[in-house]
Each structure stands twice: as structure tokens, then as C-alpha cells.
């Protein structure tokens, strides 16, 4: 079974899909378009990566096209998606421990089972106080989620990685923490609306606030506000973070940023003047 046929089968078994498709061909077209949008690719860029013409990509994205995407092109799209996923989630920060390099090599070689087994083993032997544990937890979550985004073990490791943030004091602590936050925020943005997305958002918010309490870096508060707005979390949570930012930076400066950046659209009503009554 080719890659998108497998994806179509998974979609067909969903009880409450986010979108209804009338045919496999419509599903394929939307999947390719979604791949491009997710990673900010033009049709020309995807054509180069897939070694096809731009017209071919346009046909892939046309739900009215009569031909399904050929099996070998589906396999190529699968490899492209995997490469893009790794590049968007993975940063080899130096100094890079040998076990992180080993996990990276296994993932890029498409040896998911081996990467998962190594990550599980390392976490079972590494002391809980080891400063490298947050990074290893993050990589363990990657090794499971690259093969199955809905993996329960991936979610367990993702949550543990977030909970471990704020305890590191080494020279690489901030870089590792930002890598973990960035990766999990990217995942949050493609999750379907529902309890799992809100739980992930709440965990991310707590991690951002914990890092702010430690370092007093306003960027972490802005990150927390974006997470609260785009998850979205409850309005009282959103306005609580907004109030803290306004108290620290002044309402005018915060207002300018909120009104100019769509990431914070959910809290714009706080700065909108009520219409005058005649």
C-alpha cells in the first residue's frame, strides 16, 4: 500500500475527522497543499525537492484531477515530509553528546524502532538529576512522534520534557530550553482543536512562565501569551498574562505589539475602545 493510500485509510477510520473528503483524490490534493503550507514551501520549491515539474505539483493539488498521485511520488513525498519534519524539530546544539548524535543518525536513516529503543534505554539508565535529561526527554519524544504523532509514549516524554524546563543551569540550558519550547509549539499549531491541544497548551504556558520566573526575560512572557492566545486557553488565562506584561512594560508598548501582531488577536478587545453612545 502506498503512503497516501495508507493515510487515506487512517482518515477513513476516524470517527470525527476535521474535514470531510468526497474521494481519495480530494484527500491527496489537500494533503499536498497542507504539506506546503505547513513548511512554507512554494509549488516551485516542492517541485525541485520532488524532482518533478511545477505543473505536476499543481496537478497533485488539484482535487479535480483524474489521476491519483503515482505510488513512487507518494513515497517521495513521504520522504520529503520526514526530512522537513526533522529539520523543523531537530537542532544539534554543540557540544552534542554522543547519544544525541546516535539518535539523530538513527532518525535520519529512517530507523525509528532503533531510535526509540535507544532513547527508552538511555532514559532508564540516566540519573534524574542529570543536566542532559531535558534534552534526552525531548529527543525521546521525537523518536516516538516521528513514527506516530498520536503515540502515548511521545506525549508522555513531551510532557516530561516541558516539566523539566527551568531547572537547568549549564551554559547550554537556555538554548536547549528554547529548542524544546519551539519544537513543541510547532506541534501545538498543527494539533486539532480539543482537550489534547488545550492540555499541551497549558503545559507550554506553565513552562514559559517557569522560565520567566527564573530568568526575568520578557520574551518568555510574550511566548506564554502567544501560547494562551493560539491554543486557545481560557480568556482569564490570556488576560492574566496580558496584565502581567502591561504591568511590567506599560500598557502603550504592549498595546502596540498586540494590535500589530495577529498572534495576539484573542486579547485585542482589551485595547479596543467601546463605541461612543450618542
pLDDT average, residue stretch 44-71: 94
The domain spans of the chain are: 3-80
The pLDDT of residue 278 is: 43
CATH of range 3-80; options 3.40.1390.20, 1.20.120.520, 3.40.50.2300, 1.10.260.40: 1.10.260.40
- Spatial distance between the Cα atoms of 117 and 269, rounded to a whole number of angstroms: 49
Q: How many other C-beta atoms can be found within 10 angstroms of the C-beta atom of residue 202?
A: 17
pLDDT at 239 over 50: yes
Please say whether the beta carbons of 21 and 30 come within 8 A.
yes
- Spatial distance between the Cα atoms of 170 and 191, rounded to a whole number of angstroms: 32
CA 100 to chain centre: 20
Please give the DSSP secondary-structure letter assigned to residue 191: S
CA angle 204-186-216, nearest 5°?
40
pLDDT average, residue stretch 54-81: 92
**85-138, pLDDT tens digit by residue?**
888 888 888 888 999 999 999 999 999 999 999 999 999 999 988 888 999 999
Residues 6+ apart with CB under 8 A from 8: 24, 27, 28
Residues 6+ apart with CB under 8 A from 25: 63, 65, 66, 68
Percent of the chain with pLDDT over 90: 66
Amino acid at each position: 500500500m502506498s503512503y497516501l493510500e495508507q493515510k487515506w485509510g487512517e482518515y477513513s477510520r476516524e470517527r470525527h475527522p476535521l474535514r470531510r473528503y468526497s474521494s481519495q483524490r480530494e484527500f491527496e490534493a489537500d494533503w499536498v497543499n497542507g504539506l506546503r503550507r505547513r513548511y512554507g514551501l512554494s509549488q516551485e520549491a516542492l517541485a525541485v525537492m520532488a524532482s518533478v515539474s511545477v505543473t505536476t505539483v499543481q496537478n497533485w493539488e488539484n482535487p479535480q484531477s483524474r489521476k491519483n498521485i503515482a505510488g513512487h511520488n507518494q513515497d517521495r513525498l513521504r520522504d520529503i515530509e520526514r526530512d522537513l519534519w526533522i529539520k523543523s524539530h531537530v537542532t544539534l546544539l554543540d557540544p552534542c553528546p554522543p547519544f544525541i548524535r546516535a539518535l539523530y543518525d538513527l532518525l535520519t536513516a529512517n530507523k525509528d524502532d532503533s531510535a526509540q529503543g535507544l532513547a527508552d534505554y538511555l532514559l532508564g539508565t540516566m540519573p534524574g538529576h542529570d543536566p542532559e535529561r531535558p534534552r534526552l526527554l525531548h529527543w525521546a519524544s521525537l523518536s516516538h512522534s516521528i513514527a506516530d504523532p498520536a503515540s502515548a509514549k511521545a506525549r508522555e516524554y513531551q510532557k516530561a520534557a516541558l516539566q523539566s524546563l527551568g531547572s537547568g543551569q549549564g551554559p547550554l540550558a537556555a538554548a536547549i530550553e528554547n529548542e524544546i519550547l519551539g519544537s513543541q509549539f510547532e506541534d501545538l499549531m498543527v494539533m486539532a482543536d480539543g482537550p489534547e491541544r488545550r492540555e499541551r497548551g497549558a503545559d507550554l504556558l506553565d513552562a514559559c512562565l517557569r522560565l520567566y520566573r527564573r530568568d526575568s526575560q520578557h520574551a518568555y512572557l510574550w511566548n506564554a501569551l502567544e501560547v494562551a492566545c493560539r491554543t486557545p486557553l481560557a480568556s482569564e488565562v490570556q488576560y492574566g498574562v496580558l496584565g502581567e506584561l502591561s504591568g511590567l512594560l506599560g500598557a502603550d508598548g504592549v498595546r502596540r505589539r498586540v494590535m500589530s501582531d495577529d498572534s495576539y488577536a484573542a486579547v485585542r478587545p482589551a485595547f479596543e475602545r467601546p463605541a461612543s453612545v450618542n
